[in-house]
Structure 1
Amino acid sequence: MLSFSVSAASAVPVQDTAAIAPERASGFTVKSPVETQRFAVAAANPLATEAGYQIIQAGGSAIDAAVAIQAVLTLVEPQSSGIGGGAFLMYSDGQQIIAYDGRETAPAAVDETLFLDDQGNPLEFMDAVASGLSVGVPGVLKMLEQAHREQGQLDWEVLFQPAIRLAEQGFAVSPRLHQLLSSEQHLQQDPLAAAFYYDDQGEPHPVGYLLRNPALANILKRIASEGSEAFYQGDVAADLVARVRQHSRHPGRLSEEDLAAYLPLRREPICTLWQRYRICGFPPPSSGHLTLMQILGILEHLPQQPGLDDTGLPSEAWLHQFLEASRLSFADRAMYIADPDFVEAPGGSWQHLLQPSYLKSRAALIGSASMGSGGARAGEPFVITTAYAPQPEQPEYGTSHISIVDADGRALAMTTTIESAFGARILADGGTGLDGGYLLNNELTDFSFQSQDAQGRPIANRVEPGKRPRSSMSPTLVFDAESGELVASLGSPGGAAIIHYTAKTLVAMLDWRLDAQAAISLPHAITLGGPVYLEQGRFSAVLLEALRSRGHDVSERELTSGLQVIKVIPTGFSGGADPRREGVVLGD
């Protein structure tokens, strides 16, 4: 039996600021690129990265390391992902590229009225989130089990040892976890969570507090020895369902039959040529790849602008084009993209959204002045036979990202989530009666609360039984278009802004030739079609005013991405982890 140990995390400064980002800010720590020769692992928490590192050191594959990392993230980064959620995993073994879909599904008993009150009006967003209504069937464990069965090297049981050890012995509460617990408004409404994450006075456990999770250790031991069935059937499943269906305010509709019936899917990735690269990403129900490649494709049809200004930051002219391309791409996203088992792609193929002639026509709509909030409309990439209504804007949250390239060149990019910070604010102990457990997702709030518009046109991403909600997760693998060699693995958390974060990092790394860490550290700029948000304190007042003079409604906010990037270099790999979170890169 292999044995692993995991050491404590280093501190990150705390910064108390308001945020529109999915998770609040916890400081900005300057980081340097990490160069390795044989393999590289990047994850959102040092303890998780170390677990993946140890698995590869022991002869494991990238998939093996991802399983170990996810188990540890369930413990140490519970606000972002865990076994109670779902994930998209992009994988390459050098010969084939596979998209593993572990997205949550809607219970069989839901209908289009799931998030409507008795008068037929949408519930307040957070009222729906912190409830049993929002919990979808978790998919990450079954997806990882399938991927491991097909691509793993080490025994399944071995992969959970680092997380079990940490859960039993305890880990030091990190500055970021403490900060998020301090600002959280709903978690203490759940009795188990309140007793576990807070003290008797209702204060979050302080930074450095040794937090043990015997309930999660017990659950992970069962999963390790019995496989994912230990989660999807039996006592753990019954406990999960009971907590959803017996919620004090809004009971959910999840059943044990829903859990037992869940199936992960292997999907065909979408690979798109851009410059001299082949960029491969996740197909719907993810909107990530299609939308970010629309942004990059539209930019290619616009007059070239200097990417970086004299200060080394994105230039005002480039930002204007990037933001306008984002408006157009998000308009298409709101109209067309949803679970492909329920919604037909325009003209029968998602590739129609990426046709150069269509993107050129979209680029022609961009001028020197902004279209402004609501000014962008969805295009018609093909003759449309179904008249969909655009989805009204609503918040999107959460997530964590993992990038790995193992010693045999197998690469993955996996974005994993429970959606909002701390998910549905429901802690489940698996029926163990022990302290702790794991948090349940609120993934169903990624569906549109409304099913149709005022004209009765259906919204593609409406709630339907068995459907997977649309996602912005954008796990991305990049290859040289000519040689087919791996170039990079990357992705980010951040709700809908994942798309902007990943697109900007691709441009900075591949077009502007920045190293991985420098590309990640560049300041962010986003719009979902309405106001523009620039990362607080990172751009000059002159640049903000220049964008306003073009008609952009600009304000500054914390934009807490969590990018992880591994880039191939001649001597091996160069990795970067987002300075806005606690992630690190390790490798040999």
Structure 2
Amino acid sequence: MQKLNLISLFVASSVVTLAGCASNPAALVPVASVAPSASPEAASGYTEKTGVAAKKFMVAAANPLATNAGYQILKAGGSAIDAAIATQMVLTLVEPQSSGIGGGGFLMYFDGTDVKAFDGRETAPASATEKLFQSADGKPLAFLDGVVGGRSVGAPGELRLLELAYKQYGKLPWATLFAPAIKLADDGFAVSPRLASLLKNERHLRKDPVAAAYFYDREGNPWTAGHVLKNPALARVLREVAAGGADAFYSGRVARDIAAKVQGHPTNPGGLTVADIAGYQAKVREPVCSDYKAWTVCGMPPPSSGGIAIAQILGILETRNMGAYAPKDGVLNVEGVHLFSEAGRLTFADRARYVADTDFVPLPGGSVKPLLDKQYLASRAELITDKSMGVARFGLPRVTLLAQGLDTAPEYNSTSHISIVDAQGHSVSMTTSIEDQFGSRQMVDGFLLNNQLTDFSFDASDANGPIANRVEGGKRPRSAMSPLFVFEKGTRKLMLSAGSPGGSAIINYVGKVLIGMMDWGLDVQQAISLPNFGSRNGPTELEQGRVSDALVDGLKAKGHNVRVMEQTSGLQGIMRMTIHGEDVWFGGADPRREGLVMGD
């Protein structure tokens, strides 16, 4: 663990705030709005942040009010799971564009010994077929034609996910965990600068009468930052769930309201029924764990592609000396970006070919092992040369393969991430989503409904055969969400809890942080703050306004098709560090969003 000792020495010599907050929430004022990009959520500014250190416990989340809710639960003796529930309920209220009880997610939990992967991904209605997002002539719909309305809504998984984890690891009374969100919904909360910025540029939300009445004034103008917004409808739902558990959501009036909203959309109705909602089940799955140099990295298995993809990127890069290409003063190295982007191309090619809900479509060889085999990844790494390969072809693991097509899912996930470590050293890494910005743009009972079904491939097959991630009734759409843990190899000592929103770019965002920490000796805040970069087997994508002309020119000289674009990550991370001879937790939040770190 020599690398981490070097990191510790670096941080010990810098200014570190013990406990407290990562930045002043009042200072989180966005720059002028920019036009939407291919990112799932538009950018709303960049505010420099410093990391936070704490001795006992820590929570990092995407909104200061949500972070504070989790912090108060931890301070009251709650577990990491308890704090995650309180934090997510507040996010439903204050960050409705990104996640909430109308959506789903993935939760990784470390209990001090073992890692568990909780799957709360939404499911397609039983009536769904592979033609769900196709026109009458069999052609794929335009993305937003699929998104807006009831067609895209899957059975929400968030509350079943959290209840399943709570039954195993909760400490405080269930109802206590809903109190912070209920109080904020009743008393009102100040609309954040980011929410105000996104509302200003949103084109579809006002088409829903319920959403229009909540997010806009009588003249149809979106609420501005600082406006106090109350949500009695959500408060009522949360009170019912606090008293009756998740069944109050899945088997009562709320389920009926969701189904009626979905099926009753005037132009784009969906097939979700009360039975689909009542029958939803969260699952516990086996995490994807692999070694990288001195570390063991554990991520989510399918239906998330994140765990496999990040393990593949690391396995490919392990053949190269990434440490030699560290940024200097925050300026990225051309060769480092080249290697990372090429590894991403190879990984995303396999992802598009092989990864989907394994309850419906098995991986090659029936497990993650063939795709993570060291020899297989070394052979993939041999394809990387001094020149970009442009678009990579999928690999052929050493197993019998089914004929499968290539996925066409757009995957513009509007998402949030929470990282927590409690006083016992147990940890949560949870990424949650409603998919696109403001989801399906359908609001019911104070919360927005997801459009997660558009994470399926709109095409069902191609010349190679059926597409693994095609729509099927009851199936979970593939995701890129990548909550993960990093451990000291051999000892299973927790070193990092991290994740991010950002659609399929999540894989590159999180991968950047891992390389930044494990190869380049950065602390988690420095790694998060690095410019975003990488490839999803298309152009090499660089973060607009954060990269040098020299980097762009250097990559073009290597044959890269460079696209400079907004990359609105929302990374949160907590790492273990040694400061002045003492182990502490050190947390970082993404300067691109309103995230905050708190701890004691």
TM-score normalised by structure 1 residue count = 0.96
Residue in structure 2 matched with residue 449 of structure 1 by the alignment: 458
Q: Does 1:406 align with 2:414?
A: no
CA deviations on 1:498-527 (whole Å, 9 max, x unpaired) are 000000101111221111111100001122
Query: Counterparts in 2 of 1:169-568, with a 5 A limit?
Result: 169-302=187-320, 304=322, 306-372=324-390, 375-392=391-408, 394-429=410-445, 437-453=446-462, 455=463, 457-568=465-576
Q: Distance in 1 between matches of 2:223 and 2:561?
A: 40
Report if the CA contact (8 A) 1:15-1:25 is conserved. no
SS at match of 1:399: strand
Report if the CA contact (8 A) 2:323-2:520 is conserved. no
Q: Distance in 1 between matches of 2:503 and 2:256?
A: 30
Q: Distance in 2 between matches of 1:132 and 1:280?
A: 35
Q: Distance in 1 between matches of 2:99 and 2:451?
A: 11
Could you tell me which amino acid in structure 2 is paired with residue 585 of structure 1?
V
Q: Distance in 1 between matches of 2:25 and 2:41?
A: 23
Q: Distance in 2 between matches of 1:148 and 1:312?
A: 40
Report if the CA contact (8 A) 2:107-2:430 is conserved. yes
Residue in structure 2 matched with residue 13 of structure 1 by the alignment: 30
Cα gap change, 1:310 to 1:265, in 2 (>3 Å): closer
Report if the CA contact (8 A) 1:403-1:489 is conserved. yes
Deviation at 1:96, TM superposition (A): 1.5
Residue in structure 2 matched with residue 4 of structure 1 by the alignment: none
Q: Distance in 1 between matches of 2:544 and 2:165?
A: 40
Q: Distance in 2 between matches of 1:307 and 1:262?
A: 47
What is the count of residue pairs matched by the alignment?
572
Deviation at 1:296, TM superposition (A): 1.4
Report if the CA contact (8 A) 2:417-2:499 is conserved. yes
CA deviations on 1:341-400 (whole Å, 9 max, x unpaired) are 01111112212111110011001111111111xx31000112333110111352422110
SS at match of 1:132: coil
SS at match of 2:256: helix
Q: Does 1:572 align with 2:595?
A: no
Q: Distance in 1 between matches of 2:597 and 2:412?
A: 27
Q: Distance in 1 between matches of 2:167 and 2:156?
A: 19
Q: Distance in 1 between matches of 2:370 and 2:227?
A: 53
SS at match of 1:523: coil
Report if the CA contact (8 A) 1:14-1:179 is conserved. no
Report if the CA contact (8 A) 1:338-1:460 is conserved. yes
Could you tell me which amino acid in structure 1 is paired with residue 441 of structure 2?
R
Tell me which stretches of 4 or more aligned residues in structure 1 moved more than 4 Å. Answer: 7-10
Q: Distance in 2 between matches of 1:333 and 1:169?
A: 45
Q: Does 1:89 align with 2:107?
A: yes
Q: Distance in 2 between matches of 1:183 and 1:306?
A: 42
Q: Distance in 2 between matches of 1:526 and 1:79?
A: 25
Could you tell me which amino acid in structure 2 is paired with residue 542 of structure 1?
A
Q: Does 1:62 align with 2:80?
A: yes
CA deviations on 1:56-101 (whole Å, 9 max, x unpaired) are 1111000000000110000000000000000100001112211011
Deviation at 1:202, TM superposition (A): 1.6
SS at match of 2:53: strand
Q: Distance in 2 between matches of 1:441 and 1:58?
A: 32
Cα gap change, 1:8 to 1:542, in 2 (>3 Å): closer
Deviation at 1:9, TM superposition (A): 6.1
SS at match of 2:461: coil
Residue in structure 1 matched with residue 169 of structure 2 by the alignment: 151
Q: Distance in 2 between matches of 1:548 and 1:456?
A: 32
Deviation at 1:125, TM superposition (A): 0.4
CA deviations on 1:128-176 (whole Å, 9 max, x unpaired) are 0112110000001011001101100001000000000000000000000
Q: Distance in 2 between matches of 1:203 and 1:526?
A: 38
Structure 2 unmatched ranges of 5 or more: 1-23
Deviation at 1:22, TM superposition (A): 1.2
Report if the CA contact (8 A) 1:419-1:441 is conserved. yes
Match for residue 49 of structure 1 among 36, 53, 67 = 67
SS at match of 1:552: coil
Bigger CA drift: 563-572 or 165-174? 563-572
Bigger CA drift: 577-586 or 533-542? 533-542
Deviation at 1:305, TM superposition (A): 6.3
Q: Distance in 1 between matches of 2:411 and 2:121?
A: 18
Q: Distance in 1 between matches of 2:395 and 2:326?
A: 30
Cα gap change, 1:510 to 1:385, in 2 (>3 Å): closer
Q: Distance in 1 between matches of 2:532 and 2:143?
A: 26
Report if the CA contact (8 A) 1:305-1:317 is conserved. no
Report if the CA contact (8 A) 1:9-1:47 is conserved. no
Cα gap change, 1:215 to 1:489, in 2 (>3 Å): same
Q: Distance in 2 between matches of 1:524 and 1:303?
A: 20
Deviation at 1:456, TM superposition (A): 6.3
Deviation at 1:16, TM superposition (A): 1.7
Q: Distance in 1 between matches of 2:369 and 2:300?
A: 13
Residue in structure 2 matched with residue 124 of structure 1 by the alignment: 142
Cα gap change, 1:93 to 1:305, in 2 (>3 Å): closer
Q: Does 1:110 align with 2:128?
A: yes
Q: Distance in 2 between matches of 1:95 and 1:308?
A: 33
Q: Distance in 2 between matches of 1:392 and 1:260?
A: 30
Report if the CA contact (8 A) 2:53-2:587 is conserved. yes
Deviation at 1:8, TM superposition (A): 7.9
Q: Distance in 2 between matches of 1:312 and 1:237?
A: 49
TM-score normalised by structure 2 residue count = 0.94
Report if the CA contact (8 A) 2:403-2:464 is conserved. no
Q: Distance in 2 between matches of 1:130 and 1:221?
A: 29
Deviation at 1:119, TM superposition (A): 1.3
Residue in structure 1 matched with residue 5 of structure 2 by the alignment: none
- Aligned Cα root-mean-square deviation (Å): 1.3
Residue in structure 2 matched with residue 3 of structure 1 by the alignment: none
Structure 1 unmatched ranges of 5 or more: 1-6, 430-436
Report if the CA contact (8 A) 2:524-2:573 is conserved. yes
SS at match of 2:325: coil
Report if the CA contact (8 A) 2:102-2:434 is conserved. yes
Deviation at 1:311, TM superposition (A): 3.7
CA deviations on 1:407-432 (whole Å, 9 max, x unpaired) are 01111100000011100000001xxx
Deviation at 1:20, TM superposition (A): 2.1
Q: Distance in 1 between matches of 2:480 and 2:382?
A: 26
SS at match of 1:201: coil
